[in-house]
Structure 1
Amino acid sequence: MTTRVWDYLAEYQTEKADLLDAVETVFESGQLVLGRSLAGFESEFAAYHGVDHCVGVDNGTNAIELGLQALGVGPGDEVITVSNTAAPTVVAIDAARATPVFVDVREDDFLMDTSQVEAAITERTKCLLPVHLYGQCVNLAPLKELAAKHGLSILEDCAQAHGARQHGTIAGSTGDAAAFSFYPTKVLGAYGDGGATITSDESVAARLRRLRYYGMEKTYYTVETPAHNSRLDEVQAEILRRKLKRLDAYIAGRQAVAQRYVDGLGDTELKLPKTVPGNEHVYYVYVVRHPQRDEILERLKAYDIHLNISYPWPVHTMTGFAHLGYQTGSLPVTEKLATEIFSLPMYPALSPDLQDKVIHAVREVLSTL
């Protein structure tokens, strides 16, 4: 049996009755767009995070883009973030017609090196965009201080950190707004695309609602500010509403898988994920590190194990962002990590037998390097 980093079929079989009932609920509701399911999910997702507002959108990229726009970010502005992230983080900044500015990450936990942020602030800086990467939180305390000092906003990228906490505070509840993706692989994943932006600022929430609905507010026929259609689909909203009730169980399942990796691989030369003190890691992906990464991945194919790299190409090295002018060596930690990191299978329904297969194969490959 082919083993990959993610698979939804086992989970689907367990939850099939509830998921199909979710679809039927929407189809029988009489309202297929901006209906009761979306309103219910938005209310419940906001409550889960202890904030006042949630605005469901069509994907995580637009959750960031609309979040930036709702915070007043636009042409000529700069947004400070990291290059060790999924490209959509930066694509969204570009889509908001702002300029991404990169700082490096920390070598031990791969998270934004917040000590580099103040030096990157210019008179054009408008927003700080920390990425809660791989399932745990960036330390937001120093960013809050910098934001207050320089008059900046903070938009948290929580696409990989549903339910993660730092010193008991849940990801997404500290900044001015936070963006989430519900892509199927996520800790809280839909059965298709989906996203949301949360905030406790009423004016930001009002702008978000306009931005996701052509720029309309009171009536379908009047545009306040031109925008696109970025609504979260009613079917996906109802599925997410059902799955939100199981989010804590999903997290516990991921943490159990992570612990089995520690038990099975902790005595090898493979560098396993480090949890920052005070963080509760939800393990969206289980990223490990080894200087002979490429050889390990190739040898694992003989065991029918096919793994991913998150991420093999830092955003600042991509052709699409060459115009930003970053040279090789400008973000040395990010660039080094890109040659060594890879992801082991991680999802709540990963069976102990399949995980044992991965652990056994990795140990065998490591012993022959």
Structure 2
Amino acid sequence: MDTIQMVDLKRQYRSIQPEIDAAIKEVIESATFINGPAVSNFAVQLAAYTKAKHVIPCANGTDALQIALMAMDLQPGDEVITPSFTFIATVEVVALLGLTPVFVDVDPDTFTINMESLEQAITSKTKVIIPVHLYGQCSNMQPIMELAQAHDIAVIEDNAQSIGGHYQTESERRKTGTIGTVSCVSFFPSKNLGAYGDGGVIMTNSDELAVKMKKICNHGSERRYYHEIIGVNSRLDSIQAAILNVKLKYLDQYCDKRRAVAAFYNRTFANHKHIQTPFEPTYSHHVYHQYTLILEGVDRDAVHQVMAERGIPTMIYYPVPCHQQEMFKALQERQYDLPHTEYLVSRVLSLPIHTELTAEELVFISTQLIEAIEEVKKKQAIT
């Protein structure tokens, strides 16, 4: 059995190697490395897949969030609400632009933004809500959008981890990233749709915002050497776009494989008293960018260590919530009581999940986790 990886990009590459190599070769031979045909073609193909009106390629998912905020004519001190239980990029760009991050709690089952906490956080200064589709699970977008519309607040979907997922209402199904005012996607290599380097896109159905965000991506310029607004240099390079063009054809297949892996884990751990498996609400088609458990009644960090000793990688996403990060201490003007977030950061553990996992590997991982929990419990009993 091969060494187990959290994400095995080498084996995935081998399965589509001829297509990937041909796509890269085509870009190199054309020498159109910046804003080449592969980039525009990818934008068209992704728009067709998601049904988003506008897809604007950029350099990475963090840039996508920053550019989306830059396009909204916000002023220093304007408040942007985000869950604290998220990767730091969601909040980092808020502070970088001189805006005020306001942290809210998450739902303890879905790990996505908690509506009660969100409603309590809205003030006259609130200009943007950023729901995060964490681990591949879609936030409950309908009540979020209704609340935002009632208060004239923009919604930026952080769709970095949920490309390929969808949100289901009684009347329609929509791809994640096509519901809010704007959405932001990351193509970091480990993502369900991952490049072989950094990459991202911004999606919107607003013609006005699309024009503005395209300018911001290109130094605030629509015409070369004429700069109308403050912008940045954020481009998806042609080689990454060519790779993504190939992999986009397989995205649904990749998501289905991840869901099958998750289903195996769910069945295996269903009756284990120390393991809470991921919850799937009826509105969310979970695409399992991460498979994240809650460990109850056992030392999570000790289990994490024992698994490493047994040669199985596990990850903690995320050990410190954003509102407790050192970088935000100087910005805090309020005390936060986020019980679900603080509960989860000490208990979540993510297992390997990717498109190339075999049945033998899944049995091995799950067996080793159960044994690791038993080992830790025995040590706890002795001490």
- TM-score tier after normalising by the smaller chain length: over 0.9
Q: Does 1:276 align with 2:277?
A: no
Q: How many Å separate the matches in 1 of 2:283 and 2:236?
A: 33
Change (3 A) 1:108 1:222: same
Q: Is the 8 A contact 2:110 2:137 kept in 1?
A: no
Q: How many Å separate the matches in 2 of 1:95 and 1:354?
A: 42
CA apart distance, 1:76: 2.2
Q: Which runs of 5+ in 2 are unaligned?
A: 378-383
Aligned to 1:127: 128
Change (3 A) 1:53 1:133: same
Q: Is the 8 A contact 1:4 1:307 kept in 2?
A: no
Q: Which amino acid aligns with 1:115?
A: E
Structure 1 residues 348-363: aligned runs within 5 Å? 348-363=355-370
Q: How many Å separate the matches in 1 of 2:322 and 2:121?
A: 17
Q: Does 1:70 align with 2:71?
A: yes
Q: Which amino acid aligns with 2:321?
A: P
TM-score (normalizing by structure 2): 0.93
Residue from 300, 303, 310 that aligns with 1:303: 310
Q: Is the 8 A contact 2:313 2:352 kept in 1?
A: no
Q: Is the 8 A contact 2:184 2:202 kept in 1?
A: yes
Aligned to 1:4: 5
Residue from 191, 200, 208 that aligns with 1:195: 200
Q: Is the 8 A contact 1:316 1:326 kept in 2?
A: no
Structure 1 residues 248-267: aligned runs within 5 Å? 248-267=252-271
Deviation string for 1:178-219 (max 9, x for gaps)? 00000001111000000100011111011111111111112x
Secondary structure of 2:227's counterpart equals coil
Q: How many Å separate the matches in 1 of 2:194 and 2:284?
A: 22
Q: How many Å separate the matches in 2 of 1:363 and 1:62?
A: 40
Deviation string for 1:271-325 (max 9, x for gaps)? 1101112211100000001142112112212311121101111011110011232
Q: Is the 8 A contact 1:73 1:96 kept in 2?
A: no
Q: Is the 8 A contact 1:191 1:236 kept in 2?
A: yes
Q: How many Å separate the matches in 2 of 1:95 and 1:56?
A: 21
Secondary structure of 1:55's counterpart equals strand
CA apart distance, 1:165: 1.1
Aligned to 2:150: 149
Moved more, 66-75 or 54-63: 66-75
| Equivalent residues, number | 368
Moved more, 4-13 or 132-141: 4-13
TM-score (normalizing by structure 1): 0.96
CA apart distance, 1:5: 1.9
Which stretches of structure 1, 4 residues or more, deviate above 4 A after TM superposition? 326-329
Q: Which amino acid aligns with 1:184?
A: P
Q: Is the 8 A contact 1:73 1:127 kept in 2?
A: no
Change (3 A) 1:313 1:328: farther
C-alpha RMSD over aligned residues: 1.5
Residue from 300, 320, 324 that aligns with 1:313: 320
Secondary structure of 1:350's counterpart equals coil
The share of aligned pairs that are identical, in percent, is: 35
Q: Which runs of 5+ in 1 are unaligned?
A: none
Q: Is the 8 A contact 2:140 2:283 kept in 1?
A: no
CA apart distance, 1:327: 7.5
Secondary structure of 1:217's counterpart equals strand
Q: How many Å separate the matches in 2 of 1:74 and 1:329?
A: 24
CA apart distance, 1:329: 6.1
Q: How many Å separate the matches in 2 of 1:114 and 1:326?
A: 22
Q: Is the 8 A contact 1:78 1:100 kept in 2?
A: yes
Moved more, 56-65 or 257-266: 257-266
